[in-house]
Amino acid sequence: MLHASAELFASKGVASTTVRQIAARVGVQSGALCHYFPSKIAIVREVVTTYLEQLKAGYDEVALRSLDPRAGLRAIVEVSLRTVEESPHATIVYQTELANLRDDPGYRDAKKLADEAQQIWLETIEDGKRAGVFREDIPTKVFHRFIRDAASLSIKWRHPDDAYTAEELTRDCLKIVLDGFTT
């Protein structure tokens, strides 16, 4: 149900997707959806929360604290790209609906997960700055948003069946960001 909802939300937009369309996609009566979700926004919230749980679990799985900052950043980017690849529709819903959910009181769990995921990025970058691996003159949050968005927005142009793999994108993204583009 969440996958079908995410697919519809990603392709049509949340505002243009009806509960009736979601129900038809999963093969139930629209009233039956109310048994699981009280509203369309509750479905959106669950799609976003599930996406963030998947992302955060991936970050937790790679044991970043045992890696040097550069390897830790690589692991974060790899997890981010793998999550984008595994959940492309949920990624798009997260990207497009996050701003709309921030004022929703039911968004509390998703916000906590988003904050925890962000903190992992920030701590890794700060560790790199302290170790002299990353530049001090670039604000941590700017660097975080720049590289995070480069990874997550690849969903707009890269598809899971591309010959250019997520591993290659990780490598090239980090080469550009950490080593520069000039010769």
pLDDT averaged over the chain? 89
Q: What is the pLDDT of residues 116-165, one digit of tens each?
A: 999 999 999 999 999 999 999 999 999 999 998 888 888 888 877 788 88
Residues in the chain: 183
Q: What is the pLDDT of residues 7-49, one digit of tens each?
A: 999 999 999 999 999 999 988 888 888 888 898 999 999 999 9
Q: What is the pLDDT of residues 164-182, one digit of tens each?
A: 888 888 889 888 888 887 7
pLDDT of residue 181: 77
Q: Where are the domains of the chain?
A: 40-179
Residue with tokens 């921030």: 102
**Superfamily for the 40-179 domain:** Tetracycline Repressor, domain 2 (1.10.357.10)
pLDDT of residue 64: 66
CB 42 within 8 A of CB 62: no
Look up the pTM and report it. 0.88
pLDDT of residue 135: 92
What's the rounded Cα separation, in Å, for the pair 128 and 12? 41
Q: What is the pLDDT of residues 65-102, one digit of tens each?
A: 678 899 999 999 999 999 998 999 999 999 988 878 77
